[in-house]
Amino acid sequence: EDQVTQSPEALRLQEGESSSLNCSYTVSGLRGLFWYRQDPGKGPEFLFTLYSAGEEKEKERLKATLTKKESFLHITAPKPEDSATYLCAVQAIAAGNKLTFGGGTRVLVKP
């Protein structure tokens, strides 16, 4: 069974204080690993897809990396508007179009 575990559950940062979020996964044949951002009361917003170990993707202050067992989302010099819940999900090759989500990391960036 595919599993995704995210840590920490919550993260409080000062504006400008860089940090990393972890997503550990087990999957029988990875098709893709996805990162989403979710604001309270809204639907998840797609950020990145990573397909193979060693791959990296960047968007503004966010950078996602992937190994064979985990992915990291690095937030560099965060701003208050980066406050959100960040969700990680995996899609297995044999799982149709199903995404298995982790529990998320709630990030609060204080000015």
Buried b (16+ CB within 10 A) or exposed e, 12-35: ebeeeeebebebebebeebebbbb
| CA angle, 98 then 107 then 27, to 5° | 25
Question: CB neighbours of 42 closer than 8 A, spacing ≥ 6?
Answer: none
Pick from 14, 54, 97, 111 the residue near other proteins by CB under 8 A. 97
Shortest spacing between CB 103 and other proteins, in angstroms: 5
Report if residue 78 touches other proteins, rule: CB under 8 A.
no
Nearer to other proteins, 83 or 85 (CB): 85
Shortest spacing between CB 110 and other proteins, in angstroms: 24
Report if residue 102 touches other proteins, rule: CB under 8 A.
yes
Residues in region 17-56 near other proteins by CB under 8 A = 31-32, 34, 36, 41-46, 49, 51
Residues facing residue 24 across a β-bridge: 5, 70
DSSP state letter for 29? S
Residues in contact with other proteins by the rule CB under 8 A: 31-32, 34, 36, 41-46, 49, 51, 87, 89, 91, 96-99, 101-104
